[in-house]
Structure 1
Amino acid sequence: MANTEPMTQRVELATVMDRLAVDGLITDYAVAVDDGDWEAYRGLFTSDGRADYRSAGGIEGDAKEVAEWLTQTMELFPMRQHLIVNRQVRFGPLEHDTGDTAQVRADYVNPMRFAGHDGGDTTPDFVCGGRYDFALVRTDSGWRLRSVVVDEKWRRAPQARQEPAAT
């Protein structure tokens, strides 16, 4: 009987390495959006990569088009901080080779600060949360995003400040 332990260990190590690379790509995505680094954002996608932000009031399109839309839209929010948690990663086959694709479902909370406020305690924030569905593919340049779909589940926007009624 052949010893399959070294082969099993290599497969497990490759899976761990892929998991770390995928996790890094998702983190790079959040940092690119939060920092407004739209060149880096575009570089995270495959050449045919797409993003869908329609559930959050945005657009759906190729990564270049969406990056241009984000460039304008995110000017409203100079402070952004994506927190992407509860990442579920599933690897799958591409053309019968195991591990060439990955699906990531992850929850997010995204606090943002509106532009034009002084940053004090009374500055209204916009906070939203939901779930991302990321589809990734392994390329010659490493893992890249094939698609990003946002499913916004909730949001909290500032309410207009009410002045006390005159007596």
Structure 2
Amino acid sequence: MTQRVELATVLDRLAVDELVTGYAVAVDDGDWAAYRALFAPGGRADYRAAGGVEGSADEITSWMSSTMELFPMRQHLIVNRLVRFDSVDREVGDTAQVQADYVNPMRFAGEGTAPDFVCGGRYAFSLVRTPGGWRLHRVTVHEKWRRTPQKAPAEA
């Protein structure tokens, strides 16, 4: 591998990292225009394993914007990112797969200051290189666990 190819790979990895981080920030901030802009034409997402829906980027953006109104406090943490690029003639190609774990505390509107529940799992991101840079082709959520706080028993 030449230094030029290695540098291009590093730049691609940084761009992919920025895309995945941008995903978390857009959802947490409720910036639905930014969220939609992360997707390539024809992009889709599947949130069914976390109790959501599956659909086109436009359908998911609409669903997310209304559903997340229930949770004014969200803080995605996306970690353990495993990036795999396809290759063409030993150079990075135009598609990539990212596997990343997440932890997501959320609070219901009108509740206290602590999260009402915390969930965690794994994302599978399929990415495609576009003229505008790397974009999401498919997002699949695999929720593995969910914890809801237990109410203290009423005093007798």
TM category (shorter chain) comes to over 0.9
**2:70 matched to which residue of 1?**
76
Deviation for aligned residue 1:125? 2.1
Deviation at 1:73, TM superposition (A): 1.0
Whether 1:41 and 2:35 are equivalent positions in the alignment is: yes
Corresponding residue of 1:50: 44
CA distance in 2, matches of 1:124, 1:87: 25
State the Cα distance separating 1:113 from its structure 2 match: 1.3
TM-score, normalised via structure 2 length: 0.93
SS in 1 for 2:69: helix
Structure 1 segments unaligned to the other structure (5+ residues): 1-6
User: Which of 122, 132, 141 is the aligned partner of 2:132?
Assistant: 141
How far apart in 2 are the matches of 1:21 and 1:100?
13
Counterpart of 1:90 (choices 84, 95, 116) is 84
Residue 124 of structure 1: how far off its partner (Å): 4.8
Counterparts of residues 23-42 of structure 1 (less than 5 Å): 23-42=17-36
Question: How far apart in 2 are the matches of 1:77 and 1:111?
Answer: 10
Tell me the residue number matched to 2:122. Answer: 131
Corresponding position of 1:151: 142
For residues 10-29 of structure 1, the aligned pairs below 5 Å read 10-29=4-23
Q: Is 2:28 the partner of 1:8?
A: no
> Gapped runs of 5+ residues in structure 2?
none
Q: Percent identity at matched positions?
A: 71
Tell me the equivalent position of 1:113: 107
Q: Does 2:57 correspond to 1:66?
A: no
- The structure 1 segments of at least 4 consecutive aligned residues displaced by more than 4 Å after TM superposition are none
* Cα distance in 2 for residues equivalent to 1:30 and 1:60: 18
Structure 1 or 2, whichever has the larger Rg, is 1
Determine the structure 2 residue equivalent to 1:3: none
Question: Number of paired residues?
Answer: 155
Pairwise CA distance, 1:162: 2.2
